[in-house]
Each structure stands twice: as C-alpha cells, then as structure tokens.
Structure 1
Amino acid sequence: MMRLGYLFAFIACCIALVSPAGAHEIRPAFLQINEISTGLYDVLWKVPVKGSMALNIQPEFDPAYTLKRAGEEALLDGFAVYRYRLAGDQGLPGSVVRVPSLRNTTVDVLVNIALEDGVHYSFVMNPKDPQVQVPQTPSSLQVAKTYITLGVEHILGGIDHLMFVAALMLIVRGWPMLLKTITAFTLAHSITLVLATLGLVSLPPPPVETMIAFSILLVAVEAVRLRRGQTSLATRWPWVVAFAFGLLHGFGFAGALGDIGLPQTDIPLALLFFNLGVESGQIMFIAAVMALVWLLHKSVTLPERAPVAAAYAIGCLASFWVFERLGTLFV
C-alpha cells in the first residue's frame, strides 16, 4: 500500500498544481418560466457574471411568441438577473426553447417551466446542444436526469472538494480504511446538503467556503506530519475527520444547489438525484485516480518524497483559497 500511496500522492500533486485558483467559477445559467395566465408567462433569466461582465447569452423562443423586457437588470450573488414577459397564442408544450450563443461558452442552462395547471418541466441545455423541445407530457425521469447531471458537473468542477478527497488519500492506510473514510465523508455531506436545502439549518456562504479551504489545509498538514512519523486523530481515524468536515462541505453543495434552483413540485426528487450526481462524480474522480495509479505503477517509480511534495502542493493551494476567501468575510 505504501508504494500505491506514493502514486496517489503524485496524482494529487499534479491535480493540485494544474488546478485553477478559484473553485466553482462557472455556474449554470438559470431560466425560470412561470405561466400566469393562458399564453402569458413571467420569465426570470439568471446569467453568471465573470469578473464584471455577464455572459452575453439570451434565451429565444419560437416565432409564435413575443419576449419583452419587464424591469431593469440586477446583480445578485454573482448573477446578472433579467426579467421578461413572454406571450403567445399557443402553449409552451411542443415548442422549442433555445440559447444559440451558448455554443460559445462552457456554461449549461437549467430550465424550469411551471404551467398554470400545476404541470412542471425541468431540463438542462449545454453548449453542444443549446436547445430543447418542451415535451407534451412532463416526466419525473427528466427531472432525475437533469439534477443528476448537475450534481456530477458540480463536484467535478469543484476543485476544492476534490482536493479534500485527494488529501484524505494521503492520510489513509489500506483500502478498507479508504472505503470507510470516503463513506463517512459521503454520509456527512449528504446530511447537511438535505438539511440546508430544505431550510432546516443554514450558514452564510463566505465562512463556509473559507472553512472548506481550511479543512483541505488541515488534512494536508496531517499528511506531512504522518510522513515525519507523527500520528494524530486525523491519521489514526481519518473517517472521523472526513465525517466532521463532510458536514461542512455539505453546506457548500447546498449553496451551489441554491444558486441553481429547485423545481418546487419535485424538490425531493431533484434533491435526491443532485446528491446522487455528487456521489457519482466523486466515485468517478476516485476511479480515475485508481486507474492512473495502476498505469503509473506499471510504468514508473516515484521518489520517496512524492507524498510530502503532494501534501505541500495541496496545502499551498488551500492556503491561497483560505486567504482569498477570508477577504470575502469583510465585504
């Protein structure tokens, strides 16, 4: 296991060194369409802001509909928010919703449609396929597909969460303990994700994001201490640390889900499949690391200091995040 530990470390180091400095930089755009009377709709369009500029993307509808601005643009939590009034002589089911300029971005669009009779639709558009035909009949399967996709994309785009998992690999000894540790992390962040999303508990995002970065730094420090022959609670029972900090990471997932939005008529289903998507993405990451471990184990011999180098790399990245996010506490 020790040689495999070096390989884990090398991979974690590479990931840390090539990671972008900020996590969750690109979030999905959000299109909410609410029918207020027959053929008349309120439209809410939220577009991620990069720097000081909102992405130049706009929704389009079939020629049978007229889309007009209904209010001024506003900035809210990193999004540019636009409101429209959509009118047409026919119902939205069967029509096409598109965002043509989405092809020039790396952003997905979550679309929620709520009709006056209580029927609800949810789906995702992506840059490769920036349009969708609204089905005549809504499907729970579509909601499940939409939110499991968003969950996978969120965790794979959340470099800080993946760095925490990578750091845990540096302090875990043996496959049984690795399984136990990852299970504890999964259980913990699932608990707070559900509680926070349902509004039963809440924490402000800036302290949560800062503490997530600090949790990565702490585990990286413990990895260095372990290679120096020192032990602690974290290295003896890493699953305890994974569970404790997993509760904190769950608030981060809940914050992302809050930005995305939930279909009000399918909250339990959407919440379940978003969480399953997060877990699927996490498993994909671990599986990818294991696959690289196997390949590297067959082809190269890593230096004995690889685990320490990896821990320092992850720790430096986490330190940058800590100081960067501390600034948001005083804004």
Structure 2
Amino acid sequence: MKPSLSSRLPWRTWCCLWAALLLFVGAAGAHEIRPAYLEVMPTQSGWQVLWKQPVVGDAAVALQPVFSGGWLDDSSAELSRTPTHLVKQWRVAATQAPLEGQTITITGLDRTITDTLVHIRLSDGSDITRLLKPDAPSMRVEAGRGAPAVAAYLMLGIQHILLGIDHLLFVLGLLLLVRKRARLLWTITAFTLAHSLTLALSALQIVQVSVPLIEATIALSILFVAVEVVNLWRGEAGLASRWPWGVAFAFGLLHGFGFASALGEVGLPKDAVLPALLLFNLGVEIGQLAFVAAVLLAYRALRRIRPALLERGRWLAPYAIGGLAGFWCIERSIAAFT
C-alpha cells in the first residue's frame, strides 16, 4: 500500500506550499494588466487621439496621457469600454499647438508594471512608434526619431509571455511532465506551432472566439497538466505523459487565442499587419525560451547544491500550479457565464 501524499510531506512543506499559492494568487493580477495604447492620427480638420486604458476588474488603471501642448486638457473625450480597456477618443483642432516638438507623458505609468505602446502618424505620412515603460514614461515627438512602425511589437510579445503567469505555468507543467530532452523539444515545439497558428488566425480575424471562455479553458488546461504530473509521479502514467506533444499541441491552440486577445486590444498597424504579427509572435517565443532556459538552469543548480531539498520539495510545484489553476478556472468560468 502506497503512503499518502500527506504522510510523505512534512508540515513545513505544506505550509510553504500554501504560502507560495497565496503569493501566486496575489501576483495573478499581473496577467490581467494589459498594455495601454495611444494612437495619434491626422484628419482633414486636425488630429484624432485614441487612448486605450487597461481595466482590472471594474476599475481602470490610473493612467492618463498628457501632451505638453495642452491637447487633452479638456473633458470632451468620447468614452467606450471593452472587457479589458476603457477607450477614449479626442478630436483636436489644427489650430492648437503643433504636434512636433511636444512631449507626451503617461502619468501614473511609473507606478505600474505595464507598458504603453504609442503610435503616431505625422502630417507628412511618416510614423513614430515607441514603447513607453514605467522607468521611461515620456517621449518627445520628433520626425525621424521613432523606431520602425512595427519594432515595438517584439517587446510587446516578450512582455506578454513574461507577465502571462498562466501561460508560463502551463509551460512549467510540461517541463515537470517531460524529462527526456528530445521528447521535451518535440513537446515545446508542438506547443509553439499550435499557439502560433491560432494567434495568426485570430489576429487576422479569420477565426473569432469568446475571450472569457478561452481564458477559463486555458486555466482548465493548466489544471489538467498539473493533475497529470501528480499522477505520473505516483506511478500512474496518463494521457499527457504518454503523448505530451499531442496534449501540448491541443492546448497550445487555446493559448494562442489568449495571446491574440491581448494583441487585439492594442491592434496591428494597418499598413504592416504581417510584420507586426510576426514580431509579436517572435517576442512570445523569445520570452518562452528564456523562461524554459531559466527553469532548467535553476533545476540543474539546485540539484547540484541542494539535491535533498529538491527531492523533499518537488511536490510543491504541481500542487501549487494545480491549486492556482483551479482558482482561476472557477473565477474565469463565473466571469464567462455572467
């Protein structure tokens, strides 16, 4: 008769497990804070300013674009909402201060963990694209000083995967499930191909899905992999341990729709849709590979330095992943059906 899991784990390990789970739950909101987006486009009578401000729950993140020329000092913005953003639009008369030479600042950005993508089209048709960060929330509008119109999408992809705790936990579950290098390579490749496919289909509006339902199903996929890890370690090989690449591909299709939902809120430049999409996807892959490398290096270092600690605490990871995924599954299912 096999000893129960509780008899194999000392009480201190259980305390650490639940403490880690609570910390994960507290950090889980990071994935919900999507990038803000500021767009400035010329019109026949002046300028149109579009601002997409991230929303967490029912409250908008305290961010506001400020133009040094006083463009947005009035309260004439047209308001609308999406599930993840508060959207504001201003129409600025051509008689106001010229755009070039102004400094744009995103107030409150320095107190967040998100970024702001700024896309400006000048009167001569040239584009300026910048990604403003918490440590650099301002930019000066100068012709010829912007990055190529799609360059910022690479950083957006990296940011999304590294702040996407749910996606990273799924990848971590795959790492716990597959030990052989060749098999792990095929599994990660299958996951990459799958989410790249649905990311493209959704971003190009070929396939449209319910975002809340997809988010709930992504949480369910993480819970499934965590259960499969526990069953494998108990000596009961399941579907995911026998065909990890197939499971990774199937669930990767869901995760691709999740990536696309974040990209869809920011939007793709109309004159460079494919390059921006490719760079965003490349950024996701760079971030994913960096995470995989970091986990494998940390595991190898801990196995050399404290192998006994690694063995005693190995059950912590799948139970923490599964507990958090279960919490997300309930929370997101309620949101999807209300």
2:202 aligned residue: 196
* TM-aligned CA deviation for residue 305 of structure 1: 5.4
2:222 to 198, 205, 216: 216
The answer to which of 40-49 and 108-117 deviates more is 108-117
1:45 aligned residue: 51
Q: What letter is aligned with 2:112?
A: T
Change (3 A) 1:312 1:67: same
Q: What letter is aligned with 2:205?
A: G
The 5 Å alignment of 1:280-291 reads 280-291=286-297
The answer to which of 233-242 and 64-73 deviates more is 64-73
2:39 aligned residue: 32
Partner Cα distance (2:286, 2:66) in 1: 33
TM-score, normalized by length of structure 2?
Answer: 0.85
1:85 aligned residue: 91
The 5 Å alignment of 1:256-271 reads 256-271=262-277
Partner Cα distance (1:71, 1:283) in 2: 42
Change (3 A) 1:146 1:120: same
Q: What letter is aligned with 2:131?
A: V
Q: What letter is aligned with 1:76?
A: T
2:5 aligned residue: none
Alpha-carbon displacement from aligned partner over 1:147-177 (angstroms, at most 9, x marks no partner): 1111111001000000000001111021111
1:107 aligned residue: 114
* TM-aligned CA deviation for residue 18 of structure 1: 3.5
2:105 to 77, 98, 105: 98
2:148 aligned residue: 142
* TM-aligned CA deviation for residue 54 of structure 1: 2.3
2:129 to 107, 112, 122: 122
Aligned pair count reads: 317
Partner Cα distance (1:226, 1:235) in 2: 7
* TM-aligned CA deviation for residue 88 of structure 1: 4.8
Q: What letter is aligned with 2:153?
A: Y
1:319 aligned residue: 326
Q: What letter is aligned with 1:299?
A: I
Alpha-carbon displacement from aligned partner over 1:36-85 (angstroms, at most 9, x marks no partner): 026x1011112122343323332222438575443443332232222212
2:64 aligns to what SS in structure 1? Answer: coil
The answer to which of 291-300 and 278-287 deviates more is 291-300
Give the conservation status (yes or no) of the 8 Å contact 1:223–1:308: no
* Structure 1: gaps of 5 or more residues: 1-12
Alpha-carbon displacement from aligned partner over 1:235-280 (angstroms, at most 9, x marks no partner): 1221111111101100000001011221111111111111111111
Change (3 A) 1:88 1:101: farther
1:131 aligned residue: 138
1:77 aligns to what SS in structure 2? Answer: coil
* TM-aligned CA deviation for residue 16 of structure 1: 5.8
Partner Cα distance (1:152, 1:201) in 2: 24
Give the conservation status (yes or no) of the 8 Å contact 1:122–1:146: yes
Change (3 A) 1:309 1:61: closer
Give the conservation status (yes or no) of the 8 Å contact 2:302–2:310: no
Partner Cα distance (2:213, 2:139) in 1: 38
Q: What letter is aligned with 1:79?
A: H
The answer to which of 188-197 and 97-106 deviates more is 97-106
Partner Cα distance (1:163, 1:64) in 2: 44
Change (3 A) 1:300 1:50: same
Give the conservation status (yes or no) of the 8 Å contact 2:65–2:105: yes
Give the conservation status (yes or no) of the 8 Å contact 1:68–1:84: no
Alpha-carbon displacement from aligned partner over 1:210-235 (angstroms, at most 9, x marks no partner): 11011111111111111121223311
Partner Cα distance (1:197, 1:65) in 2: 32
RMSD between superposed Cα atoms in Å: 2.4
Are positions 1:167 and 2:191 aligned together? no
